[in-house]
């Protein structure tokens, strides 16, 4: 949720470039573009409760607009990202967060991929070790060779390796 | 049949069980996190008397209902006759929270459809609504003598909801208090 | 009258699907050639009836027959012709019919292009496909009949959702469905092989081109869908990890694993039970995607209007199809052990390693997508799992896949020397890491994600060059041109697809690191600056379309003194649907997109304009195009054609084997 310094700088630079002489420089919609950037960054992490799976940054539903205003007001009042998140969670619950917090009910969610990875790696290691030691069953191999030879058109194409 | 080859089948059946159960759930209904917590602080003007504000303290000592409504809310029309009937029974005070509405529109709407509310509080900018975790209108909160939220009904109140849920809960709270 | 013909035709198709499901399977089990031979004509007849039925539905849309419920709710007499046609599948019922038509098309393709398959095997494949088709056609007819009448007919239709009135939506659903459904062929081959109890290199070779072509469709379908989201949703984003997007991405991941696993099974006869499981898994995830999109168990921007009764029907279908397959798997797979042996360091190990990682990634996406449902079902509350979660989990899982992906092609089949491989790849890996870090500094955005992304992309590019050089060097003696020509098409396919992933990563990393945007209030003549570009607002004109009113703005984009583009973003209002829409206007460039959308008009007459700078974003789709192209090359390899030409001997040989 940290605001990207470079992005902010780029924005500031973009705004400081002097406008062409004949035209007026358009005003940013937000009074404070840097603040707006921060509001939008956080808004992308927050779910619009009445929408079909959109963040409050993407939605223009009245509640999403209200919540964005809340976020902005609280930033202006000097609260940081964590405090704003806490404020919203106190009212709407974890449902409002697109990044679920790490706690009892999300244990499987957060550890699941790690466990899957460990399980997969373990199975892989076991499988490979077994594979190295075991000999191929002769019958199947024989059949496989026969089929492969017939399918390949035997030796005349074998100089063309396929990979 | 080696056991390990049954693993995919079991995982799938478990998943299918959850998916089947999921058909009965409503992914869009969000239970309130404020249940059994003190109602948020508010101090709001009344629709009929803009100069007289009402705050939490004014409701202390009694069980009451807070119904969030607005003249632009279509589903509110559906529940309105139910609320009218409910208020005639004079069980508990029914306070309206007129959410993000214009005062004139709101008053006209009450004249047209009847006014079941003991009074309606004006939440023009929706701030108190956010404090209550309101995400859709109508919503109805049941608040006890100590000012703690005991129950939240999401969506239009139906006669069945009044009979089977709200009235028993109110009676229970009154007994306890 | 015409809708009734379509309805009737669909019923006939169901009857034929049932015949196709039962008769050949019975024939195969009793070894009766006459019964087995029924499969092919049944499949072809079924296809004709479905196409006719689909044509009838399209006719009702094109002629604005609003006595047809579906046309009345999804079309309008003023809708442009092309969107009348695409409106046919812009809804639940019609898209199911499209699903069934794709399945039928694949089946017919199997009957045409795999004539050399042994009769018993072919009968089983067609039987399995017939079962799936029977399930989906009865689902369509029983719960979602597209030919329901509206009595009395409506005077005017309600029009197609404006979001879907877009060129991207013309091809996205057909491509995606061809991809989803295409995995049914690999699935049917796997089930047929399980039924016969024999699966060998020949089986893998038959499956491979089909799987690859399905994967090409799925890749293209996902890419087009993401492109549509990019310019139509108006936020400049291209992937949202929405449940419906995930539903297409999970089969893609498993399908990718399947393609690679099939390669090993074909060449070395190994991983057979794993390959079968992947074939079942890829198709199962496609089916589950259908369930997720249509049942309403998850909220999504893209979901169809949902209905629990339909959900229950698909779930039953899902349990039947997948459950039976997995029972069959548990019963027959234990006999499939064996195959060629290989060393710890070998091409086989590398491919299996990547397979496992892709499966884990797919499983993690599934976990994240369904987790809110699990928690809700266990009454533990409501939570949301969104893009930040998936990005956190997915990047670390895919990193080793990308690294291993470029090591694999250096490793020999059967067994190789670990030190030799290390000597080959270590310089490239070190150089990539250094390059990634250097580039991150050069673009002035040093975050771990940028460094990682650029390093991985550098590794893919360096590795690709290295592989190509080695491949050419392997043929000593021949002239360079002859060496290049001797490389088979499938190798180029692999090379291109892997290169495409590198290009894709560049796009993702650059746009994630350097994109900028700003919303400004503009009056005619006003200018705004973003990322070195000057935007001059020329004003707004009315520009009505056939079924919408629109305000069309004109903005000149300049950079320094040179004019770059004139952009015309629109704000539309679709009358029939009473829905406002923003149409972004984009100047697409090789190294950046400049993206403009038009917001509301303010009280003082100024317009809200969103300006977006998206560096390298087209590389995302360029990468997907290369991947798909790679798939086309792989599937077009000569040896599959030779397979088709040598019909008689192969058929006889395979019959001996099977």
Written as one string, the DSSP assignment of C244-276 is HHHHHHHHHHHHHHHHHHHHHHHHH--SHHHHH
To which residue do tokens 């046309």 refer?
C71
Any residues with CB less than 8 A from the CB of A127 and at least 6 apart, and which?
A: C352
Question: What residue in A sits closest to C408 (Cα-Cα)?
Answer: A163
Higher pLDDT, C646 or B37: B37
CB-based burial label for C86 (10 Å; 0-12, 13-18, 19+): buried
Torsion of CA C340, C346, C347, C349, to 10 degrees: 80
CB C351 within 8 A of CB A75: no
Residue A162 lies in a domain: no
Q: Do B6 and C376 touch (CB under 8 A)?
A: no
Please indicate, yes or no, whether residues A110 and A145 belong to a single structural domain of this protein. Answer: yes
Residues A51 and A120 in one domain: no
Give C318: exposed, middle or buried? Use CB within 10 Å, 0-12, 13-18, 19+.
buried
Is C335 near chain B, with CB under 8 Å?
A: no
Q: Quick one: angle between helices B103-113 and B74-88, nearest 10?
A: 60
A96: nearest CA in chain B? B30
Contact yes or no for C363 and A106 at CB 8 A: no
**B33: nearest CB among A50, A63, A93:** A93
pLDDT digits over C373-410, tens only?
Answer: 999 899 888 899 999 999 999 999 999 999 999 999 99
- Tell whether A35 and A87 lie within a shared domain: yes
User: Are B131 and A67 within 8 A, CB to CB?
Assistant: no
Nearest to C537 by CA among A116, A25, A156: A25
C297–B27 CB contact, under 8 Å = yes
Any domain includes C510: yes
Q: Domains in chain B, start-ordered, CATH in brackets? A: 33-176 (3.40.30.10)
Residues in chain C within 8 Å Cβ distance of A98: 384-389
- What is the dihedral sign for C-alpha C106, C108, C111, C112? negative
Cα C527 from Cα A22, distance rounded (Å): 10
- Residue C528 sits at φ, ψ, to 5 deg, of -140, 155
Question: A26 vs C520: CB contact, 8 Å cut-off?
Answer: yes
Residue A149 is predicted with a pLDDT of 64
| pLDDT (tens digit per residue) in C70-104 | 999 889 998 999 999 999 998 889 999 999 999 99
Interface of A with B in 72-131 (CB under 8 A): 89-93, 95
- Checking DSSP bridges between strand C570-574 and strand B43-45, what pairing results, if any? unpaired
Chain A, window 63-92: residues with a beta carbon less than 8 angstroms from a chain C beta carbon: none
Tens-digit pLDDT profile for chain A (163 aa)? 344 544 544 444 444 444 443 457 888 887 788 888 899 889 999 998 888 788 888 888 888 888 999 899 999 999 999 999 999 999 999 999 999 999 888 999 999 999 999 999 998 888 777 766 654 444 455 556 656 666 665 433 333 333 3
Residues of C in contact with A106 (CB under 8 A): 371, 375, 383
Same structural domain, A92 and A111: no
If asked whether residues C502 and C531 sit together in one domain, one would say no
Q: CA-to-CA distance for C138 and C159, rounded, in angstroms? A: 27
Residue B31 contacts A, CB cutoff 8 Å: yes
Judgement on whether residues C508 and C524 belong to the same structural domain of the protein: no
In angstroms, the first-to-last Cα distance of chain B is: 64
Q: Which of B2, B9, B22 sits opposite C297 (nearest CB)?
A: B22
- The predicted structure's pLDDT at residue C588: 93
- Domain edge (last residue) among A49, A73, A96: A96
Contact A62 B133 (CB under 8 A): no
Q: What is the DSSP letter of C68?
A: B
CA separation for the pair C16, C103 (Å, rounded): 14
Closest to A92 (Cβ–Cβ): which among B100, B126, B133? Answer: B133
- Domain of A115 in residue numbering reads as 104-152
A147 touches chain C (CB under 8 A): yes
Q: Which residues of B78-87 are buried (b: 16+ CB within 10 A; e: fewer)?
A: ebbebbeebb
Asked whether residue C79 falls in the same domain as residue C19, the answer is: yes
Rounded Cα distance, C391 and A94, in Å: 19
Q: What pLDDT is stored for residue C647 in this prediction?
A: 41
Do A83 and A135 lie in a common domain?
no
Q: Judge whether B45 and B53 are in contact, CB under 8 Å.
A: yes
CB C111 within 8 A of CB C127: no
**φ and ψ of C477, to 5 deg:** 95, -45
- Residue B116 binned pLDDT confidence (cut-offs 50, 70, 90): very high
Confidence of residue B109 (pLDDT cuts 50, 70, 90): very high
R_g over Cα of chain B: 20
CB contact under 8 A, C281 and B8: yes
Q: What is the C-alpha separation between C456 and C404, in angstroms, rounded? A: 11
User: Once rounded to an integer, what is the mean pLDDT over residues B70-93?
Assistant: 90
Residues of A in contact with C525 (CB under 8 A): 22-24
> Is the same domain home to A71 and A26?
yes
Let me know if residue C223 belongs to a domain: no
Residues whose CB falls within 8 Å of the CB of residue B153, separated by 6 or more in sequence, listed in order: B139, B140, B141, B142, B161, B165, B166
**Given CB atoms, is B155 within the 8 Å cutoff of chain A?**
no
Pairwise CB contact (< 8 Å): C273 & B12? no
Domain count, chain A: 2
* Residues C376, B27: C-beta atoms closer than 8 Å: yes
Angstrom distances, CA of residue A63 to CA of A14, A58, B16, B128: 32, 12, 35, 13
CA pair distance A27, C521, nearest whole angstrom = 5
Tell how strand C533-542 and strand C548-559 pair up. antiparallel
Average pLDDT score, chain C: 89
Q: Please list, in sequence order, all residues whose beta carbon lies within 8 angstroms of the beta carbon of residue B3, skipping any fewer than 6 positions away.
A: none
- Of the candidates C277, C281, C315, which has its C-beta nearest B20's C-beta? C315
Length of chain C: 658
Are C510 and C543 within one domain?
A: no
Per the model's pLDDT, the better-predicted residue between A18 and B148 turns out to be B148
Residues C513/A9, Cβ–Cβ less than 8 Å: no
Chain A residues close to B38, C-beta within 8 Å: none
- C66 vs C638, residue with greater confidence: C66
Same domain, C508 and C525: no
Give the side-chain half-sphere CA count within 13 A for A27: 10
Nearest beta carbon to residue C516 from set A11, A93, A144 = A11
Q: What share of chain C has pLDDT > 70, as a percent?
A: 95
**By the CB < 8 Å criterion, does C359 face chain A?**
yes
Mean pLDDT for the stretch of residues B75-92 = 90
Q: Is B136 on the interface with C (CB under 8 A)?
A: no
Q: How far is B82 from chain A (nearest CA, A)?
A: 25
**Residue C654 pLDDT greater than 90, yes or no:** no
Summarize pLDDT for C104-141 with one digit per residue, the tens: 999 999 999 888 888 899 999 999 999 999 999 999 99
Which tens digits make up the pLDDT trace of C427-482? 999 999 999 999 999 999 899 999 999 999 999 999 999 999 988 887 666 777 77
The verdict on a CB contact (< 8 Å) between A106 and C299 is no
In a domain, C116, yes or no: yes
Range of the domain at C130: 1-165
Q: Do the Cβ atoms of B130 and A95 come within 8 Å?
A: no
* Minimum distance, in Å, between the CA of residue B32 and any CA atom of chain A: 7
Q: Is residue C57 part of a domain?
A: yes
Helical residues (DSSP H) of C378-447, grouped into ranges: 387-407, 418-442
- Specify the pTM: 0.90
Q: In what helix (H) or strand (E) does residue C220 lie, and over which residues does it extend?
A: helix C201-232
Q: Which residues of C502-538 are buried (b: 16+ CB within 10 A; e: fewer)?
A: bbbbbbbbbbbbbbbbbbbbbbeebbbbbbebbbbbe
Whether A160 is covered by a domain: the verdict is no
pLDDT at A153: 53
Please indicate, yes or no, whether residues A121 and A57 belong to a single structural domain of this protein. Answer: no
For residues A90 and A42, membership in a common domain is answered with yes
The C-alpha atoms of residue C365 and residue B8 are separated, in whole angstroms, by 17
Alpha-carbon gap, residue A42 to C462, rounded angstroms: 37
Contacts of C469 (CB under 8 A, 6+ apart): none
Look at residue C232 and tell me whether its pLDDT is greater than 80: yes
Residues A121 and A51 in one domain: no
- C386 in a structural domain: no
Number of folded domains that form chain C: 3
Interface contacts (B, C; CB < 8 Å):
78
- Is there a contact between B27 and C291 if contact means CB atoms under 8 Å apart? no
B4 versus A78: which is more confidently predicted?
A78
Q: What residue of C is the nearest CA neighbor of A115?
A: C360
**Strand stretches in C154-251, DSSP E:** none
What is the CA angle C402-C405-C408, rounded to 5? 150
List the CATH number of the domain containing A62.
Answer: 1.10.8.640
H helix or E strand, kind and range, residue C585: strand C585-588
Measured between its terminal Cα atoms, the distance across chain A in Å is 45
Same domain assignment for residues A116 and A83: no
Domain identity same for C532 and C447: no
Q: Which two tokens stand for residue C10?
A: 């669909």
Maximum Cα–Cα distance across chain C: 83
Closest C-alpha to B148, from B34, B32, B31: B34
């Amino acid at each position: 949720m940290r605001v990207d310094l470079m992005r902010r700088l780029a924005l500031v630079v973009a705004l400081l470039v002097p406008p062409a002489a004949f035209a007026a420089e358009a005003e940013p919609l937000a009074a404070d573009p840097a603040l707006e950037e921060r509001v939008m960054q956080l808004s992308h992490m927050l779910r619009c409760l009445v929408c079909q799976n959109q963040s409050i940054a993407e939605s223009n539903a009245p509640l999403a607009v209200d919540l964005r205003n809340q976020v902005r007001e609280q930033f202006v009042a000097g609260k940081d990202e964590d405090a704003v998140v806490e404020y919203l969670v106190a009212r709407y619950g974890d449902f409002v967060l697109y990044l679920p917090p790490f706690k009892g009910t999300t244990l499987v969610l957060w550890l699941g991929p790690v466990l899957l990875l460990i399980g997969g790696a373990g199975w892989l290691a076991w499988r490979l070790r077994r594979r190295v030691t075991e000999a191929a069953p002769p019958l199947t191999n024989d059949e496989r060779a026969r089929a492969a030879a017939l399918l390949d058109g035997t030796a005349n194409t074998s100089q063309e390796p396929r990979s | 049949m080696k056991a390990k080859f049954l693993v995919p089948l079991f995982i799938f059946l478990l998943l299918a069980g959850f998916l089947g159960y999921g058909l009965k759930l409503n992914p869009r209904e969000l239970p309130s996190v404020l249940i059994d917590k003190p109602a948020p602080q508010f101090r709001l003007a009344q629709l009929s008397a803009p100069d007289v504000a009402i705050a939490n303290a004014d409701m202390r000592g009694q069980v009451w209902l807070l119904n969030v409504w607005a003249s632009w809310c279509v589903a509110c029309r559906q529940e309105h006759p139910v609320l009218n009937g409910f208020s005639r029974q004079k069980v508990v005070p029914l306070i309206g929270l007129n959410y993000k509405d214009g005062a004139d529109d709101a008053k006209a709407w009450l004249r047209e459809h009847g006014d079941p509310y003991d009074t309606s509080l004006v939440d023009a900018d929706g701030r108190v609504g956010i404090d209550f975790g309101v995400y859709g209108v109508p919503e109805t909160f049941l608040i006890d003598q100590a000012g703690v939220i005991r129950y939240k009904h999401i969506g239009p109140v139906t006669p069945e909801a009044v009979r089977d849920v709200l009235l028993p809960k109110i009676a229970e709270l009154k007994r306890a208090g | 009258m015409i809708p009734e013909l379509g309805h009737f035709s669909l019923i006939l198709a169901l009857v034929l699907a049932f015949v196709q499901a039962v008769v050949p399977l019975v024939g195969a089990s009793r070894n009766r050639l006459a019964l087995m031979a029924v499969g092919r004509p049944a499949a072809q007849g079924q296809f004709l009836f479905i196409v006719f039925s689909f044509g009838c539905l399209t006719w009702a849309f094109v002629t604005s027959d609003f006595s047809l419920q579906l046309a009345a709710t999804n079309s309008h007499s003023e809708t442009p012709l092309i969107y009348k046609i695409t409106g046919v599948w812009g809804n639940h019922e019609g898209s199911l019919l499209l699903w069934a038509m794709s399945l039928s098309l694949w089946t017919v393709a199997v009957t045409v292009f795999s004539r050399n398959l042994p009769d018993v095997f072919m009968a089983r494949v067609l039987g399995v496909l017939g079962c799936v088709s029977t399930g989906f056609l009865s689902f369509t007819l029983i719960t979602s009949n597209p030919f329901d009448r509206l009595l009395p007919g409506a005077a005017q239709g309600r029009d197609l959702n404006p979001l879907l009135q877009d060129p991207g939506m013309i091809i996205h659903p057909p491509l995606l469905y061809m991809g989803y459904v295409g995995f049914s062929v690999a699935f049917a081959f796997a089930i047929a092989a399980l039924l016969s109890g024999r699966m060998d290199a020949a089986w893998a070779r038959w499956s491979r081109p089909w799987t690859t072509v399905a994967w090409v469709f799925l890749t293209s379908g996902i890419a087009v869908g993401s492109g549509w989201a990019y310019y139509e949703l108006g936020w400049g984003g291209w992937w949202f990890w929405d449940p419906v997007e995930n539903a297409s991405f999970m089969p893609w991941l498993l399908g990718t694993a399947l393609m690679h696993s099939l390669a090993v099974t074909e060449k070395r006869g190994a991983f057979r039970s794993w390959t079968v499981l992947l074939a079942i898994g890829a198709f199962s995830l496609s089916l589950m995607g259908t369930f997720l999109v249509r049942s309403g168990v998850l909220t999504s921007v893209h979901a169809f209007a949902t209905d629990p009764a339909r959900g229950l029907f698909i779930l039953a279908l899902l349990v039947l199809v997948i459950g039976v397959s997995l029972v069959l798997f548990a019963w027959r797979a234990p006999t499939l052990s064996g195959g060629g042996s290989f060393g710890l360091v070998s091409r086989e190990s590398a491919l299996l390693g990547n397979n496992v990682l892709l499966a884990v990634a797919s499983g993690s996406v599934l976990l994240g997508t369904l987790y809110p449902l699990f928690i809700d079902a266990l009454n533990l509350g409501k939570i949301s799992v969104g893009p930040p979660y998936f990005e956190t989990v997915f990047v670390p899982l895919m990193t080793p896949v990308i690294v291993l992906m470029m090591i694999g092609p250096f490793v020999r089949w059967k067994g190789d020397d670990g030190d030799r491989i290390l000597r080959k790849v270590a310089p490239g890996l070190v150089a990539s890491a250094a390059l990634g870090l250097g580039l991150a500094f050069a673009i002035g955005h040093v975050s771990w994600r940028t460094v990682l992304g650029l390093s991985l992309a550098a590794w893919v590019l360096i590795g690709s060059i290295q592989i190509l050089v080695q491949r050419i060097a392997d043929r000593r003696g021949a002239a360079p041109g002859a060496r290049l020509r001797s490389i088979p098409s499938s190798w180029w396919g692999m090379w291109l697809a892997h290169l495409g992933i590198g290009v894709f990563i560049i796009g993702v990393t650059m746009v994630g690191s350097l994109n900028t945007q700003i919303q400004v209030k503009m009056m005619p003549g006003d200018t705004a600056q973003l990322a070195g570009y000057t935007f001059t607002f020329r004003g707004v004109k009315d520009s009505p379309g056939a079924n919408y009113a629109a305000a069309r703005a004109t903005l000149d984009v300049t950079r320094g003194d040179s004019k770059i583009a004139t952009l015309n973003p629109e704000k539309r209002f679709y009358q029939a649907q009473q829905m406002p829409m923003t149409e972004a206007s984009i100047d697409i460039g090789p190294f950046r997109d400049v993206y403009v959308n038009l917001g509301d008009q303010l009280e003082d007459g100024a317009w809200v304009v969103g300006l977006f700078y998206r560096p390298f974003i087209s590389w995302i789709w360029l990468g997907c195009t290369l991947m798909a192209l790679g798939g086309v090359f792989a599937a077009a390899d000569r040896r599959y054609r030779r397979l088709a030409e040598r019909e008689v001997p192969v058929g006889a040989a395979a019959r001996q084997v099977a």
